[in-house]
Structure 1
Amino acid sequence: MKITYLSFIVGALLLQGCEQPNSNSNASTKVETKPVTTTAEQPKKETTVKYAQNVYFGDTHLHTNNSFDAGAFGNTLSPDDAYKYARGEKITASMGLETQLIKPLDFLVVSDHSDNMGMIPDLYAGKKELIANPLGKELYEGLMAGRNHEVALKLIKGFSQGTLPDVLNYDPESIGYKDAWNAIIDSAEKYNEPGKFTAFIGYEWTSMIKGANMHRVLIYRDGEEKGRQMVPYTTTPPYGSQNPRDLWKWMQTYEDKTQGNILAIAHNGNLSNGIMFPLDEQYDGTKLDKEYVESRARWEPLYEITQMKGDGETHPVLSPNDEFADFEQWDVGNLDLSELKTNEMLPGEYGREALKRGLAIEKKLGINPYKFGLIGSTDSHTSLATTEADNFFGKMSTSEPGKARMTDALVSGLGKTIHYRKTINSGLAAVWATENTRQGLFDAMKRKETYATTGQRIQVRFFAGWNFNEGDLNSKDFVQLGYEKGVPMGADLPSKAGEAPQFMVVAMKDPDAANLDRLQVVKGWLDSEGNTHERIFDVACSDNRKIVARRCDKVVGNTVDVKTATYTNDIGADSLKALWIDPEFDSSQNAFYYVRVLAIPTPRWTTYDAVRYNIAIPDDIPTSIQDRAYTAPIWYNH
């Protein structure tokens, strides 16, 4: 099924509940120059409607040359460059290729690492205090010789294991650190244009427990006046801590001192080796208590479910009945491969299992610490927020387009290797908000009216209520009715004894990308014995397929031509919708529901590379993938 311009516009109006589709409905990255359509060129619509009418696509997790690992890998691009690129300007990447987004992002968070912020530029400059240290001198000489990958891994492994000398762990109260932080704020203020493009102040808290990734991205609702009052919270004593409990205390201090607002997004958990989502006790043996669950629920409203270091929805070991669970996993070990992965670690790493664990913890402690919305982001360390498979610019500057990135190793340890080819072009954060401002987007993130995509700009709406009908689903006022008669993604559905809720979902393809395969509702629940369960229901299928035993009766097919790295939209649908009632609903069981939207298969970025450089595709990676979107859940509590 091929999309028409008219059908796209009609579908966009339905999803957004307003007369005009979002100006930045799609973006991709191109090496060559392309015309750029910016938000500023679109007419503004006056409205008094208070519900979220527009979806805004952005990246909440991007690193520049101020991050010690990104800079060591060869990233020469500044926060200014990152914002210019996100807004649609042409940029020359660190390795010399020109690149430009066809359409800009709506928002960006430059989230450089809290620890050692600004150290690498000083190392490149040969700062005498750094090169007076033997390791500092070795690293400096390596950078001067162009051995970026070697230097970066030495720094990452030293930081992961806590063995870096004090001189290479920058004091956050030092002039160099404060200068770097103030420069990041300067860039955000310079490129923030309320209503057109939002540049958030933010950073990534870099907790690393012996290589197990516990990072969080922090986002400020505020501007420079409040943002400058406190430097970021680091992880190295005596100035910081690895423990998220201490981070949450710092966040409380920030809000008390500045009267501002801040939130944290837990990093994709599949490099945490099981410690991102504890069930009974933290990594240090401390039992979960009411303080922990209250703090986590308050400060961490979102989870980064997909990004370049793998997809974090679920795993085949955790979801053996989910035929789409085996999608772009990083399940070899922790970040520096100092500890290999075991199946016992997996439940503490993936988003769906965390949502289930949250139900169990709530029954025990009274609060669900994992009642989070979902977003995707890139975690790109190149300053380039790129997500399109046909123009993927890699995760590190050493993996920008070129022949070698198909076979080069990213990290090795304990007899295992993760190659650059395992990185994925994911992902994007999608936010349904009333306006494209720091305040509008931040408030939408707090209320969890968000979803994640693995790179394509799929649009999706999801509502739950007790009185929906087919007329509501097909109404031109679909969105308004969704809010008036129910609740949107990210919300709690008030209980109503004896009745099963109705769910309305409408999704549209990215107009410049693949058609849609199907819509699925993923349900998790807690039974009377305290055990958690999950089940997947296909609720809409393209190409007139039927739903039999909770699944589309046929696979959608695959039009990918591996020899040419092309596909066609002769299969699938440009939009799908459904009104669904849970046939297994039990009003006595707490549950969550979220939507997974699957696109038809398209070439993986490595397939494009294979054609572009006339090289073979290794056997350990697929030739095609099915991009997807994950909505924030809706929770039912009896």
Structure 2
Amino acid sequence: MIRVQFDQQGAGRVKTATSAFLAILPLLFTAPVAAATEAYTEQRQPCTDHRPLKQPFFGDLHVHTRYSLDASTQGTRTTPEQAYQFARGAELPIQPWTEAGEGMRALQLRRPLDFAMVSDHAELIGEVAMCNNPELEGHNAWQCLVYRHWPRAAFYLFNYMSAIEASHLGLCGEDDALCLAAARGPWGEMQAAAEDYYDRSADCEFTTFVGYEWTGGEPDSGGNLHRNVVFRNAEVPALPISFIDGPAAVQLWGSLDSQCNSAQGACDSLVIPHNANLSAGYMYSGREDDGAPMSVEYARLRRQFEPLAEIMQHKGASECYYQAGVTQDELCAFEQQPVDNISGFDNPPRPDTGFLRRVLADGLQLQRELGVNPYQQGFVASTDTHLGAPGAAEEDRFLGHGGAGVPAAREIPPGLPDKLEYNPGGLAVLWAEENSRDALFRAMRRREAYGTSGPRIVTRFFAGWDYPGDLCQQADRVERAYAGGVPMGGELSVPPAEDTGPSFLVVAQQDAGTADSPGMPLQRIQIVKAWVDREGESHQQVLDVAGSADNGASVDLDTCEPRGEGHAQLCGVWRDDDFDASQPAYYYSRVVENPSCRWSQRLCLAAGVDCDEPDSVPDDYANCCSAEHLPTIQERAWTSPIWYTPPAGES
């Protein structure tokens, strides 16, 4: 394999290359072929670049613009159209604004995205439109006066009423008619922007999805219950279905089913929960929304509508829980929030807060009880940007994302531009034949997806019963992996023999980067295995299958220059010799980069902060020297799991 070594100036150079690696070059991609006949659900030209063995597409499915109340009360003026322009590479001005309406800061991606979705909050888009448009009835209601003159007060007041009380704030008239009518404007604009920027030509350069966020919370704990809704095509309900319309996830699924999925026409949708790490345990409680024992019908509906979960965004990672001195997997400490809820209650996280590794294990147990796994979810990541800046996940360009973070409506925040515990967010990656709505949506449905913490790491993960140990060296390894097994998101079949354990192919390529920002080498690939024994106890293992934590890589905290060796490519075949065919299990892979400087450390260095001289540190940069400040990170990618379920009656 290729090893990349960094000298003291951080310049990357190829150290060695073996003939075996030459066979790995075609590992992740296959040559484009003529587009196959596809059953599109809308009118478009077939994509010229259509690859049966699939290709990775990078995007962001969690983006807020000026029509989200939390974004607008923090000064965001980005339109859905501008959000898609930004995703395609345009510069985006952001708050604060001059009197002439010019942004005092700006953002731009180094590389455009392949797909994006504006996901403004459904609950208050009518109120936001009313309070900003003098021509709409209700513009001068006291609630809108609060919105315009005391936006931070409006942020808390409006959000409390919608996300906790599941109610409008009294300015909507009888049956909420005024707010519902006002919501048609922004909802129509979101659809129009998605239509205008969707590349329906044979080039298939950029894909948009129509969608929104369903935003609710558990009132006693402040637990987050938020979900993003993604529509397959331009056929969508007349208005987004909100938490106010039905304050339970099962009501959202039921309404989507009746108004979209089971209705006449081509409408189709799926739902992606996010920030389970801030759900105080309520998003995945193992029970129904009202606390009743989970029924088979509920489990089936949840599995049908929620094939994916968002594992990472700017409000933290949801992979696994970490506690110093207790948790053996130290990589679980990555971007862990200091609380277990989204409302700011000072409750620390717990193992059962909603971390997905445990959630998936709970799903195995529920499947034993119900015959269906309600938590059989793959992984994606996104930014949850409230600046209308999809894909702005680069550490060295982070200016905060708004929302619940540091406001910048009136001035550039002094010191760090966001709360220390927040981060730039991540990216969603979909393995699909082509960059079209239908192909990407199918990838989401079958969970052939993964998330990264920001870098454009490329990775694949397969499982089968007879992969050979030298599969990494085979030129047709991807074709053989598909033929002899299942990709990420799939389900293993029954083993051919009682003593046969599954084998796994996992491969990764470092982010290629750009000329001014080279990608970071990889440190290792891990496979995480979890299973439930006959007594119902959950177990987990984390195994290094390629690369090593002992590669000597580090980062100079005084310059942020990387040091040591790393890998441009990694590939491994691992067989589970401890496999027990009577025990349900799941497996996913985690690709880890070498250490690098976190966004906060980069800004602390740029400000000249010297924590060895406390008296010299400006008050606005005191967080640079706090115990909570972690100067380095190891960026990563998480593949969707692969599941094994014993035949009925054997577990």
What TM-score does the superposition give when structure 2 sets the normalisation length?
0.83
Question: Aligned pair 1:308/2:317, yes or no?
Answer: no
Work out whether residues 454 and 635 of structure 2, in 8 Å CA contact, stay in contact via their aligned partners in 1: yes
2:193 pairs, out of 183, 187, 190, with 187
Question: Aligned pair 1:404/2:413, yes or no?
Answer: yes
1:208 pairs, out of 209, 217, 221, with 217
Choose 148-157 or 133-142, whichever is displaced more.
148-157
Q: How big is the shift at 1:218?
A: 0.7
Amino acid aligned to 1:222: N
Aligned to 1:636: 644
Amino acid aligned to 1:315: Y
Work out whether residues 171 and 177 of structure 1, in 8 Å CA contact, stay in contact via their aligned partners in 2: no
Q: How big is the shift at 1:126?
A: 5.2
Question: Aligned pair 1:380/2:380, yes or no?
Answer: no
Work out the CA distance in 1 between the residues paired with 2:637 and 2:178.
Answer: 38
Describe the superposition over 1:468-501 as per-residue Cα deviations: whole angstroms up to 9, x where unpaired: 1133221111111110111101000102132011
Amino acid aligned to 2:384: D
Question: Aligned pair 1:165/2:165, yes or no?
Answer: no
SS for the counterpart of 2:28 is helix
Work out the CA distance in 2 between the residues paired with 1:9 and 1:124.
Answer: 59
Work out the CA distance in 2 between the residues paired with 1:446 and 1:320.
Answer: 33
Residues 151/10 of structure 1: CA separation in 2 closer, same or farther (3 Å cut) = farther
Q: How big is the shift at 1:98?
A: 2.6
Number of equivalenced pairs: 577
1:594 pairs, out of 585, 588, 592, with 588
What TM-score does the superposition give when structure 1 sets the normalisation length?
0.85
Work out whether residues 556 and 562 of structure 2, in 8 Å CA contact, stay in contact via their aligned partners in 1: no
Aligned to 2:572: 578
Work out whether residues 555 and 563 of structure 2, in 8 Å CA contact, stay in contact via their aligned partners in 1: no
Residues 116/472 of structure 1: CA separation in 2 closer, same or farther (3 Å cut) = same
Work out the CA distance in 1 between the residues paired with 2:355 and 2:129.
Answer: 35
1:219 pairs, out of 230, 243, 264, with 230
Residues 534/579 of structure 1: CA separation in 2 closer, same or farther (3 Å cut) = same
Residues 511/622 of structure 1: CA separation in 2 closer, same or farther (3 Å cut) = same
Work out the CA distance in 1 between the residues paired with 2:316 and 2:537.
Answer: 28
Work out the CA distance in 1 between the residues paired with 2:131 and 2:578.
Answer: 61
Aligned to 1:16: 29
Aligned to 1:107: 115
Work out whether residues 198 and 436 of structure 1, in 8 Å CA contact, stay in contact via their aligned partners in 2: yes
Question: Aligned pair 1:362/2:386, yes or no?
Answer: no
SS for the counterpart of 2:604 is helix
Residues 353/522 of structure 1: CA separation in 2 closer, same or farther (3 Å cut) = same
Residues 612/157 of structure 1: CA separation in 2 closer, same or farther (3 Å cut) = farther
Which 4+ runs in 1 deviate beyond 6 A?
Answer: 3-10, 400-403
SS for the counterpart of 1:535 is strand
Work out the CA distance in 2 between the residues paired with 1:18 and 1:389.
Answer: 33
Q: How big is the shift at 1:611?
A: 2.3
Work out the CA distance in 2 between the residues paired with 1:207 and 1:479.
Answer: 42
Amino acid aligned to 2:145: K
Aligned to 1:414: none
User: Structure 2 matches for 1:440-459, cutoff 5 A?
Assistant: 440-459=439-458
Question: Aligned pair 1:563/2:550, yes or no?
Answer: no
SS for the counterpart of 2:252 is helix
Work out the CA distance in 1 between the residues paired with 2:240 and 2:25.
Answer: 40
Q: How big is the shift at 1:242?
A: 1.3
Amino acid aligned to 1:113: H
Q: How big is the shift at 1:370?
A: 0.7
Work out whether residues 340 and 353 of structure 2, in 8 Å CA contact, stay in contact via their aligned partners in 1: no
SS for the counterpart of 2:247 is coil
Q: How big is the shift at 1:332?
A: 1.5
Q: How big is the shift at 1:58?
A: 0.2
Work out the CA distance in 1 between the residues paired with 2:289 and 2:180.
Answer: 31
Amino acid aligned to 2:632: S
Structure 2 runs not aligned, ≥5 long:
5-11, 34-46, 97-102, 514-518, 610-620, 647-651
Question: Aligned pair 1:350/2:344, yes or no?
Answer: no
Structure 1 runs not aligned, ≥5 long:
21-43, 143-147, 409-418, 543-551
Aligned to 1:51: 53
Work out whether residues 248 and 289 of structure 2, in 8 Å CA contact, stay in contact via their aligned partners in 1: no
Aligned to 1:524: 530
Amino acid aligned to 2:256: M
Aligned to 1:548: none
Calculate the aligned-residue CA RMSD, in Å: 2.6
Work out whether residues 377 and 427 of structure 1, in 8 Å CA contact, stay in contact via their aligned partners in 2: yes
Work out the CA distance in 1 between the residues paired with 2:340 and 2:489.
Answer: 31
Aligned to 1:276: 283
Amino acid aligned to 1:324: L
SS for the counterpart of 2:330 is coil
User: Structure 2 matches for 1:226-625, cutoff 5 A?
Assistant: 226-227=235-236, 229-236=237-244, 240-253=245-258, 254-259=260-265, 260-279=267-286, 281-317=287-323, 320-337=327-344, 339-341=345-347, 346-385=351-390, 386-396=392-402, 404=413, 406=415, 420-496=419-495, 497-512=498-513, 513-542=519-548, 552=549, 554=550, 556-564=551-559, 566-568=560-562, 570-615=564-609, 616=621, 617-619=624-626, 620-625=628-633
Work out the CA distance in 1 between the residues paired with 2:458 and 2:429.
Answer: 8
Work out the CA distance in 1 between the residues paired with 2:178 and 2:84.
Answer: 24
Residues 160/221 of structure 1: CA separation in 2 closer, same or farther (3 Å cut) = closer
Work out whether residues 67 and 118 of structure 1, in 8 Å CA contact, stay in contact via their aligned partners in 2: no
Amino acid aligned to 2:155: A
Q: How big is the shift at 1:133?
A: 4.0
Amino acid aligned to 1:634: I
Amino acid aligned to 1:420: K
Aligned to 2:9: none
Work out the CA distance in 2 between the residues paired with 1:633 and 1:262.
Answer: 22
Work out whether residues 403 and 609 of structure 1, in 8 Å CA contact, stay in contact via their aligned partners in 2: no
Amino acid aligned to 1:600: N
SS for the counterpart of 2:120 is coil
Aligned to 1:37: none
Q: How big is the shift at 1:19?
A: 6.3
Q: How big is the shift at 1:382?
A: 0.5
Residues 599/505 of structure 1: CA separation in 2 closer, same or farther (3 Å cut) = same
Q: How big is the shift at 1:71?
A: 0.8
